[in-house]
């Protein structure tokens, strides 16, 4: 993120106005083979695939990525899936088994995944008319179908394969592409792009639901379990099943009145989307954040106030950095702590909030507010397992509401902003923590466990892979990086 991210977000904002106008009047996309197509592009095994990008030695080998503190398995390569390793499994339960099976293990490297995600979105923006970033590895795109011709001229499958090849060539990442007239159907098409759709052979990686024969489209909807329809929660799925509506096709054909009675306009919209009528517009500008939270579990129980203050200072400075990147200031700050419910002592959880007299994004101001809260929350005989900092009452940084009794001279404000921008720039360029507040501590025995972390090969200069340019006559020190 940085200046470039802001620029592209601004650009997206401009598109949004145009596109939302189009969406409001654009009722042409009302049938399955309509002119407007929505695509959902989704990274396959995203975290595991990112690991393979920076370390080709893992290509073709089973690999799993663990959650924070090396807790559970959160991503598996195709080879690890084939071994039947389940998702979400606690690592300590399967550690031996993984060793026996020769499965490679990585701690989650969020700096790498976030950077690869940003690169992916930049590539995708070139391929569609408008893009909604839905998650770290998923994006919806909008484009117009070429005029349908009798020989299948409206089919976007070839376009989807070209996009996959481009992403693979530029980033080394595998993606699956689902194409359909609406978001709900695109999500569904994407699911079938990653499995074998009925009547379509093996796993196609690109599936255009809007261009397949009507009989196949019906079969695909009938084969999609109600729980797999985007937007259907567990409760609603149970209600549908009790009504004998077990798949996407049955939901589409349910009497609309009944659905409206049960779940209001949300359910009706979902049904309309299944019928091919687009009513969920793309969200091109991410809504402004109302809160920013940084919280982590400790690698070992924290029993001293000094360690708790270090942790709270670290989370506060991280949250302040996020705030500046989002272009916001916080008007209030909450610190929370909790012990482990399983450690035998009585459970302790507590939180404290402070209102700032002047909304701020300055790490020093936020630290001065957060550290006394950490002191107030600490109990000597309660070993803590987790702490967090939440910045609240966020407002646009441009709209600084001054306080009559707490004046902030403009020169001083500018100097602080310049200092913080310089610190953020250094940390972005040379890696997080290059310049940090002393309150954050150095040894950090409480910090998250990430024992099998890969390199930050795309975000830290020292970690950039070395390309060997010759044989004996080229010294390692002089080779190009
Ligand atoms: Mg994915």
User: What is the per-residue DSSP string for 404-455?
Assistant: TTB---HHHHHHHHHHHHHHHHHHHHH-TTSS--GGG-SS-TTSPP-TT---
State the distance from the centre of ligand 1 to the C-alpha of 44, rounded, in angstroms.
5
Write b or e for each residue in 223-244: b if 16 or more Cβ atoms lie within 10 A of its Cβ, otherwise e.
bbebeebbbbeeebbebbeeee
Cα(33) to centroid of ligand 1, in Å?
26
Q: What's the CA-to-centroid distance between 184 and ligand 1, angstroms?
A: 16
How wide is the angle at C-alpha 37 spanned by C-alphas 32 and 285, nearest 5°?
Answer: 135
Asked whether residue 460 carries a pLDDT value surpassing 50, the answer given is: yes
Is residue 207 scored above 50 in pLDDT?
yes
**pLDDT tens-digit map of 423-448:** 999 988 887 788 999 998 888 888 87
Please tell me the distance between residue 43's alpha carbon and the centre of ligand 1 in angstroms: 4
For domain 292-440, give the CATH number: 3.30.1490.100
Stretch(es) of the chain classified as CATH 3.30.1490.100:
292-440
CA of 75 to the centre of ligand 1 (A): 9
Q: Distance between CA atoms of 455 and 433, rounded to whole angstroms?
A: 15
- Reported as type and span, the H/E element at residue 302 is strand 292-302
CATH for 26-287 is 3.30.70.270
Is it the case that residue 462 has pLDDT exceeding 50? yes
- Which residues of the chain are in CATH 3.30.70.270 domains? 26-287
DSSP string, 357-413: EEEE--HHHHHHHHHHHHHHH--TT--EEEEEEEEES-EETT----BTTB---HHHH
Per-residue confidence (pLDDT) for residue 8, from 0 to 100? 43
Ligand 1 centroid, distance to 53 Cα (angstroms): 16
Q: Give pLDDT tens digits for 93-108.
A: 999 999 999 999 999 9
pLDDT given for residue 197 in this prediction: 87
CA of 415 to the centre of ligand 1 (A): 43
DSSP code string of 74-126: EEE-HHHHHTTPPTT-BHHHHHHHHHHTT-EEEE--HHHHHHHHHHHHHHHHT
Q: Which residue has the higher pLDDT, 408 or 154?
A: 154
For 235-285, how does the pLDDT look when each residue is reduced to its tens digit (9 = 90+)? Answer: 889 999 998 999 999 999 999 998 899 888 989 999 999 999 998 888 877
316 Cα: distance to centroid of ligand 1 (angstroms): 30
What is the distance in A from the centroid of ligand 1 to the CA of 396? 32
- 47 C-alpha to ligand 1 centroid (Å): 9
């Amino acid at each position: 993120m940085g200046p470039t991210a802001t620029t592209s977000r601004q650009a997206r904002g401009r598109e949004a106005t145009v596109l939302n106008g189009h969406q409001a009047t654009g009722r042409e996309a009302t049938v399955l083979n309509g002119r407007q197509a929505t695509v959902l592009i989704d990274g396959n095994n995203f975290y595991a695939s990112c690991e393979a990008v920076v370390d080709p030695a893992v290509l073709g080998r089973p690999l799993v990525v663990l959650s924070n503190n090396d807790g559970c398995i959160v991503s598996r390569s195709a080879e690890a899936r084939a071994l039947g390793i389940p998702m979400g499994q606690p690592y300590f339960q399967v550690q031996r088994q993984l060793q026996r099976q020769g499965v490679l293990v990585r701690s989650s490297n969020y700096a790498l995944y976030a950077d690869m995600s940003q690169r992916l979105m930049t590539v995708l923006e070139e391929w569609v008319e408008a893009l909604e970033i839905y998650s770290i590895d998923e994006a919806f795109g909008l484009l117009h179908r070429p005029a349908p011709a009798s020989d299948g001229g409206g089919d976007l499958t070839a376009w989807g394969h070209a996009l996959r090849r481009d992403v693979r060539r530029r980033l080394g990442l595998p993606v699956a592409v689902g194409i359909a007239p609406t978001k709900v159907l695109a999500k569904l098409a994407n699911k079938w792009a990653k499995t074998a759709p009925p009547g379509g052979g093996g796993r196609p990686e690109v599936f255009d639901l809007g261009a397949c024969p009507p009989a196949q489209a019906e079969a695909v909807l009938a084969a999609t379990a109600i729980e797999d329809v985007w937007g259907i929660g567990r409760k609603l799925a149970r209600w549908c099943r009790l009504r004998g509506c077990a798949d996407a096709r049955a939901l589409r054909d349910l009497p609309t009145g009944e659905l409206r009675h049960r779940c209001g306009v949300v359910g009706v919209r979902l049904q309309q989307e299944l019928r091919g009528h687009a009513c969920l517009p793309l969200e091109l500008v991410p809504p402004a954040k109302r809160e920013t939270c940084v919280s982590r579990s400790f690698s070992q129980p924290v029993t001293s106030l000094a360690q708790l203050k270090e942790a709270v200072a670290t989370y506060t400075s991280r949250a302040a950095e996020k705030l500046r990147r989002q272009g916001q200031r916080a008007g209030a700050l909450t610190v929370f702590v909790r012990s482990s419910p399983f450690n035998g002592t009585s459970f302790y959880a507590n939180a404290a909030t402070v209102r700032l007299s002047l909304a701020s994004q300055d790490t020093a101001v936020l630290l001065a507010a957060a550290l006394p809260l950490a002191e107030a929350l600490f109990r000597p005989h309660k070993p803590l397992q987790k702490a967090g900092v939440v910045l609240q009452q966020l407002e646009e940084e441009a709209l600084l509401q001054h306080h009559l009794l707490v004046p902030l001279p403009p020169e001083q404000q500018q100097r602080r902003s310049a200092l913080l921008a310089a610190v953020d720039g250094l940390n972005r360029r040379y890696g997080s923590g290059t310049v940090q507040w002393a309150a954050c501590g150095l040894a950090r025995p409480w910090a998250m466990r990430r024992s099998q972390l890969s390199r930050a090969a795309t975000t830290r200069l020292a970690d950039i892979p070395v390309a060997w340019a010759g044989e004996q006559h080229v010294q390692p020190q002089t080779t190009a990086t």
